Structure 1
Amino acid sequence: MNQVSRWCRTIADKLHVIVVALSIFLVVTSPWILIGSRLRAKASIWDSLHVYLGLVAAIFGLLFLLKNLLNGHWRQFFPWLTLDFGQLVQEIKQIPQGRLPSSGGKGIFSIVEGIGLVLMALVSITGIAWFVYQGSSDALMWRKYHIMFAQGFVGFLVIHIIFAAFHIIDMVRNS
Structure 2
Amino acid sequence: MSLKSSKFVKLISEKLHVIVITLSVFLVVTSPWILIGSRLRAKASIWDSLHVYIGLIAAIFGLLFLLKNLLNGHWRQFFPWLKLDFSQCVDEIKQLKQGKLPSSGGKGIFSIVEGIGLLLMALVSITGIAWFILQGTSDALMWRKYHIMFAQGFVGFLMLHIVFAAFHIIDMVRNS
Return the TM-score normalized by structure 1: 0.99
1:34 paired to 2:35: yes
Offset, 1:164: 0.3
C-alpha separation in 2, matches of 1:89 and 1:39: 47
C-alpha separation in 2, matches of 1:152 and 1:111: 15
C-alpha separation in 1, matches of 2:104 and 2:97: 18
Q: Secondary structure of the equivalent of 2:118? A: helix
C-alpha separation in 1, matches of 2:74 and 2:172: 22
C-alpha separation in 2, matches of 1:147 and 1:68: 25
Q: Which residue of 2 aligns with 1:131?
A: 132
Offset, 1:80: 0.5
Offset, 1:54: 0.1
Q: Which residue of 2 aligns with 1:52?
A: 53
1:1-175 to 2 correspondences below 5 Å: 2-175=3-176
C-alpha separation in 1, matches of 2:139 and 2:32: 23
Q: Which runs of structure 1 show a deviation greater than 4 angstroms over 4 or more consecutive aligned residues?
A: none
C-alpha separation in 2, matches of 1:117 and 1:3: 30
State the Cα deviation string for residues 53-90 of structure 1 (Å, max 9, x = none).
Answer: 00000000000000000000000000000111110000
Runs of at least 5 residues in structure 1 that lack an aligned partner in the other structure? none
Offset, 1:128: 0.1
Q: Secondary structure of the equivalent of 1:31? A: helix
Return the TM-score normalized by structure 2: 0.99
The amino acid across from 2:15 in the alignment is K
The amino acid across from 1:103 in the alignment is S
C-alpha separation in 1, matches of 2:164 and 2:9: 29
Runs of at least 5 residues in structure 2 that lack an aligned partner in the other structure? none
Q: Secondary structure of the equivalent of 2:57? A: helix
RMSD of Structure 2 on Structure 1 (CA): 0.6
Offset, 1:132: 0.2
The amino acid across from 1:106 in the alignment is K
C-alpha separation in 1, matches of 2:42 and 2:32: 20
The amino acid across from 1:12 in the alignment is S
Identity of aligned residues (%): 83
